[in-house]
Amino acid sequence: MYKEKENSWFKGGYNFFDTYPIRFCNIVEKIFSDDMPEIFEFHASVQKIQHVIVNLCPTEPWILPNWVILEHKTAAFLDKLKEIRVRYFPDATIHIGINKNENEHIVETIDYAVSVEWMKVYKLDAKYPQDDPVILAKVILGVDISFNKDTISQGVVILDAQTVSAVYDNCILGNQVNSRFIALSGTGLKENEIINVQLGTSIEKMFKGRFKEGIKYRVFVNGPLRGNEITDLSQRIDWSINNIVALDAMDRNIMFPMFKSNELALTTNILGELRRCIYCNFCDDICPVDLEPALYYHSYGRGEKHKARLYNLGKCIECGLCSFICPSKLELLKIIKECKALDK
């Protein structure tokens, strides 16, 4: 079955593909670990699963693109999915959300889905944070799941393309899966690349010879928006790492920044001066879950952190768009997290 859904529910959001176009090199390099590589494991849940959402709509440009896994063989990928469904989720409906710009994948998936009952296809707008579990569940299934809670307990499993393919290799074919694809990108690197790396390899080894010389760089695991900064590069790769972004720190004064937006884009510079809130409504226009982050800021500023809870604080999915867009450069996400911490 095929359904077209284009943001029927979520307003706001931001298209990062337009702002930061990142193109990856087509050649995938393989990197081996010095030690024994770790092995991917998949445990089927005991809970009864009703819905499986396969997310083929990455919304951040530095996330591993679909073509790496699908390799222009969408039908083969869907066959894998069929086998997995038979083995692990026999009663579940499989929902596939695909980026609406990837025509090739859409056409093939729809062709496949027409003949089977258990599969539904959705065209999604690649607007951040469409791939967040809360928003995926809301847009595709129409159910509310709360942020940071296990979706399996609510009968929903969300998989990405790489996990699907690893589960198939590991559990259906019985092969050992000990490597994964990782997207390396950012202004701190010479080239944006995709590598196939064995689990357990250190990040330092992976980045050898890839950093631009003569600049100060900062490294972020799983993207600069929701990921974390790592300073210790000896950390090892595990299955949860999808991409690593190295950004130019740009911790220096730039003359005439208004003429140099290209040079400053995708760096960690704060790009402006800290000011007071000017009530510009940018944060609530962009908020994907319809909150008003400035209200939290003002509660916080008045010293009434506990009052922030009154304004639907629990709905926040911590996507960070409010801090990203704020022209006064206020640390709204940090304030939201502090107010949330008070709750517990």
Partner 1 sequence: MKKLLKPIEPILSKGFDRVESFIHTHRSVKFLFGSIFGAFEGLVRGTKETTQTQPFIRNNYDVKRFMGAVLVALVIGWVFPAIYFYGWQCVISKLIVSLIIGVFVVDVLWAIIAREEHISEGGFVSCLLVPAILPPQSPLWLTGLGAAFAIIFRNVMGGVGNNLVNPAIFSRLFLTICFPSLLVTGYQTPFVGIPDLHSLRYGLDAVTHATPLTAFKTSGEVASFLSLLFGTAAGSLGETCRLALILSGLWLIKIKVVNWRIPVSYLGSVLVLSVFFSLVMGKTVAPPLFQLMSGGLILGAFFMATDPITATYSQNSKWIFGAGCGFVTVLIRNFTTLPEGVMYSILLMNLLSIPIQSLMVKIKYRI
**Smallest separation (angstroms) from partner 1 to the CB of 139:** 22
Q: How far is the CB of 99 from partner 1 (least distance, A)?
A: 21
Q: Cα(first)–Cα(last) distance of the chain, in Å?
A: 43
Q: What is the signed CA dihedral for 158, 14, 324, 318, rounded to 10 degrees?
A: -30
Q: Which is nearer to partner 1, 169 or 263 (CB)?
A: 263
Contacts to partner 1 from residues 72-111, by CB under 8 A: none
**Of 73 and 216, which has the nearer Cβ to partner 1?**
216
Q: Give the interface size with partner 1 as a residue count (CB under 8 A).
A: 62
- Residue 19 CB, shortest distance to partner 1, in Å, is 8
Touching partner 1, residues 273-332 (CB under 8 A): 273-282, 284-285, 292, 294-295, 310-312, 318, 320-321, 323-329, 331
Q: Which of 142, 158, 100, 103 is nearest to 124 (CA)?
A: 100
Q: How far is the CB of 183 from partner 1 (least distance, A)?
A: 16
Rounded to the nearest whole angstrom, what is the least distance from the CB of residue 16 to partner 1 in the complex?
9
Query: What one-letter code names the amino acid at 338?
Result: E
Reported for 109-116, long-range contacts at CB under 8 A and 24+ positions apart, including other chains, are 109/74, 109/78, 110/2, 111/75, 112/74, 112/75, 112/78, 113/1, 113/2, 114/1, 114/2, 116/82
Pick the stretch among 158-166, 194-202, 220-228, 231-239 that binds partner 1 (CB under 8 A).
220-228
Q: How far is the CB of 266 from partner 1 (least distance, A)?
A: 6
Helix axes 332-343, 293-301, angle to 10 degrees: 70
Alpha carbon distance 92, 12 (integer Å) = 31
188 binds partner 1 (CB under 8 A): no
Residues 232-261 that bind partner 1 (CB under 8 A): 247, 249-261
Q: The tokens of 61 are what?
A: 């440009």
The Cβ of residue 269 has, within 10 Å, a number of other Cβ atoms equal to 18
Select 87 or 275, whichever has its Cβ closest to partner 1. Answer: 275
Of positions 203, 225, 308, 316, contacts partner 1 by CB under 8 A:
225
Tokens of 179: 């490597």
User: What angle do the packed helices 103-115 and 74-88 form, to 10 degrees?
Assistant: 50
- Strands 28-31, 193-198: pairing is parallel
Q: Minimum CB separation from partner 1 for residue 254, in Å?
A: 4
Q: CB nearer to partner 1: give 109 or 328.
A: 328
Residue linked to tokens 């690649």:
126
| Residue number with CB closer to partner 1 (84 or 225) | 225
Residues that bind partner 1 (CB under 8 A): 218, 220, 224-229, 247, 249-261, 264-282, 284-285, 292, 294-295, 310-312, 318, 320-321, 323-329, 331, 333-334
